[in-house]
Chains A and B, each alone.
Chain A
Amino acid sequence: MEKLTKPIDSIWNTFTCEEHKCYLWQTGPLKIWVKRIGQDWLIANESQPEETLTLTPWSMAVNEPSNLPWQRWSFNKIHEKLEVTPCMPDRPLVVKTRVLTSLPPGADATFYVGIPLWISLEAVSKTEKAAMTRHSSLTLSNTWFGNQYEGEFCYALKTRAVRALAEATVMPHRALCPIVIHNKEDIPLPIQKICIRAKHLNIYQSEKQIWTNRINVTFKGDGISSKVVYDDKPPSEAKTPILLKNAEEKPASGLIHTLGQSFVDLF
């Protein structure tokens, strides 16, 4: 099994970019090349199909990518630095377990799901920060959450949904999201899929892992709305957590979010 060779917190930082020099930054399968020419920034990226654990915090690129298109960002003043921060996917995620899982009546269980991070790049000067672009660390396929008439355009995510933290592989480009499911009904609950609103998730950095806040799902019966609550604090599993990014949107009506779908749609 491949192991992380560099500390996971070394990649989220503000990096100085000398003019006309090409830098490489990599987390897992995503490589980003950056060049600054005067007031302009040039950015190229590539996402490899296979997930790796490679980390390249910020280093001079040995070779400039010749076959990738460069994206140019023009400003009216010089920004000497580049800030790289993690953020959540721009659409909800429909998470499916690889193996059909069921929860017995009255039981609750915690599953850990690795959510691929999006990488935000911002040009930084002494006085201001300007957002440039966001890249997904992993190419996710599209899916639809709802029926043929209405629903939501989402990303699909297949997961092992590991039960024990020790089984979860530390991936530098994934944030581990603990999902607690409570089956309050007296019938078994087949867990098919769950829609995670990524915009409600904070991102935390612990010693060895990136985390999101916990999601609590309470199933109250077929045809009755399940309650989904997004915690507003780091999960207890994260050791000495540091907040890297706040959720883009707080869940409506306090912390309780009701999906209003039958369990088939919810899971």
Chain B
Amino acid sequence: MESEIIVVTSIWRNVIRASIIIVIGLPLIYILSRSVGAYIKKRASEHLGLVVQKTIFFLGFAILAVSVLYEFGFKLNALLGAAGIASVAIGFASQTSLSNIISGIFLYWEKPFQAGDIIKVGETTGTVLSIDLMSVKLRQFDNLYIRIPNETMIKAQVTNVTKFPIRRMDINVGVAYKEDVERVIEILKDIADKNPYSLDEPEPIVAFKNFGESSLDFMLGIWFEKSQFLLLKNSIMIDIKKRFDEAGIEIPFPHRTLYTGSATDPFPLKISKGNEAK
């Protein structure tokens, strides 16, 4: 009877100690990981801050879990032994997860992008929210949350849109065949020079690209500071339309010329009265 009481008291003691470890330990790990992460984000980079924050949290959580198990009499040696056997089985069962974790390490190592960058993966474009153990989280511009497994990120072609401080916007413009090419080039250059978001240097470029199906095709390439993408995009399109309208330059829609067997003969037309046509 007495020994039973001692055992019950001992269990309760362990439960209380384990509870204390959890109640004090969890918030402590949370606060520590957040504050160290925030400090590194401020001093170094957002990406490194996130990685350190998560490392501290998961490491602390593992230590906490082991301490709690220890309070209930689980021996660490036995646990590690069991973990060794289990890991083989789990390894087979979770190849994808392991592949994602290893890919995550490579992503961290290679640093093709960081949290806060705008990237394009396949058809998806968005801002990197976090680079985690298993996946990269993106926020699309229409506020959709996208999770891309790290393995996919390693295999796919990733475009980092905001890696460099300046970018070039290439705008394709077509004008009618009757227009004076030199005049069009001059006007396009002037449009770029006068736009407040266009950089003077590197200089804007205008290229006569092609004799298109329905138009003479030009490319206007304007350098801009990366944060001014939308401002430039909207203003330059309006500028081009306005200036072309002012100068009487036609932006053609696709044309189709029909031939009736001979390039010289006119297309035969039959003129009929309105009632007859019905």
Interface residues on B, range: 10 to 19
As a 0/1 sequence over residues 126 to 155 of chain A, the CB contacts with chain B under 8 angstroms (1 = contact) are 000000000000010111110011110100
Centre residue among A145, A149, A153 by max chain B CB count within 10 A: A153
Q: Are A148 and B164 in contact (CB under 8 A)?
A: yes
- CB under 8 Å from chain B, chain A span 72-117: 94
A156 at the interface (CB under 8 A from B): yes
- CB under 8 Å from chain A, chain B span 150-169: 164-166
B245 at the interface (CB under 8 A from A): no
What's the nearest-Cβ distance from chain A to residue B174, in Å? 27
Q: Are A142 and B165 in contact (CB under 8 A)?
A: no
Q: Are A142 and B199 in contact (CB under 8 A)?
A: yes
On chain B, the residues within 8 Å of A143 by CB distance are 199-201
As a 0/1 sequence over residues 75 to 108 of chain B, the CB contacts with chain A under 8 angstroms (1 = contact) are 0000000000000000000000000000000000
24 A-B residue pairings within 8 Å (CB atoms):
A94-B200, A139-B196, A141-B193, A141-B196, A141-B199, A142-B196, A142-B200, A142-B224, A142-B228, A143-B199, A143-B200, A144-B201, A144-B202, A144-B225, A145-B201, A148-B164, A148-B166, A148-B202, A149-B164, A150-B165, A151-B166, A153-B225, A156-B200, A156-B201
Q: Are A142 and B225 in contact (CB under 8 A)?
A: yes
B223 at the interface (CB under 8 A from A): yes
On chain B, the residues within 8 Å of A145 by CB distance are 201
On chain A, the residues within 8 Å of B200 by CB distance are 94, 141-143, 156
Q: Are B198 and A142 in contact (CB under 8 A)?
A: yes
B197 at the interface (CB under 8 A from A): yes
Q: Are B196 and A153 in contact (CB under 8 A)?
A: no
Interface of A with B (CB < 8 Å)?
A: 94, 139, 141-145, 148-151, 153, 156
What's the nearest-Cβ distance from chain B to residue A257, in Å? 21
Q: In the docked arrangement, what's the CA distance between A218 and B50, Å?
A: 46
Q: In the docked arrangement, what's the CA distance between A145 and B225, Å?
A: 12
Q: In chain B, what residue has the closest Cβ to A152?
A: B165
Q: Are B196 and A144 in contact (CB under 8 A)?
A: no
Q: In the docked arrangement, what's the CA distance between A139 and B197, Å?
A: 11
Centre residue among A94, A139, A141 by max chain B CB count within 10 A: A141
What's the nearest-Cβ distance from chain B to residue A159, in Å? 13
What's the nearest-Cβ distance from chain A to residue B47, in Å? 19
- CB under 8 Å from chain A, chain B span 191-242: 193, 196-202, 223-225, 228
Q: In the docked arrangement, what's the CA distance between A150 and B166, Å?
A: 8
On chain B, the residues within 8 Å of A94 by CB distance are 200-201
Query: Are A153 and B198 also in contact (CB < 8 A) when A142-B225, A144-B223, A144-B225 are?
Result: no
Q: In the docked arrangement, what's the CA distance between A139 and B198, Å?
A: 13
Contact of B197 among A142, A144, A149 (CB under 8 A): A142
Q: In the docked arrangement, what's the CA distance between A145 and B199, Å?
A: 10
Contact of B165 among A141, A151, A156 (CB under 8 A): A151
What's the nearest-Cβ distance from chain A to residue B197, in Å? 7
Q: In chain A, what residue has the closest Cβ to B228?
A: A142
What's the nearest-Cβ distance from chain A to residue B239, in Å? 14
Q: In the docked arrangement, what's the CA distance between A156 and B200, Å?
A: 7
Q: In chain A, what residue has the closest Cβ to B167?
A: A148
As a 0/1 sequence over residues 164 to 196 of chain B, the CB contacts with chain A under 8 angstroms (1 = contact) are 111000000000000000000000000001001
Q: In chain B, what residue has the closest Cβ to A156?
A: B200
Q: In the docked arrangement, what's the CA distance between A151 and B199, Å?
A: 13
Q: In chain B, what residue has the closest Cβ to A151?
A: B165
Q: In the docked arrangement, what's the CA distance between A139 and B202, Å?
A: 19
Q: In the docked arrangement, what's the CA distance between A151 and B225, Å?
A: 11
Q: Please give 20 more A-B residue pairs, beta carbons under 8 A apart, in addition to A141-B198, A141-B200.
A: A139-B196, A141-B196, A142-B197, A142-B200, A142-B224, A142-B225, A144-B165, A144-B199, A144-B201, A144-B202, A144-B223, A145-B201, A148-B164, A148-B166, A149-B164, A149-B165, A150-B165, A151-B165, A156-B200, A156-B201
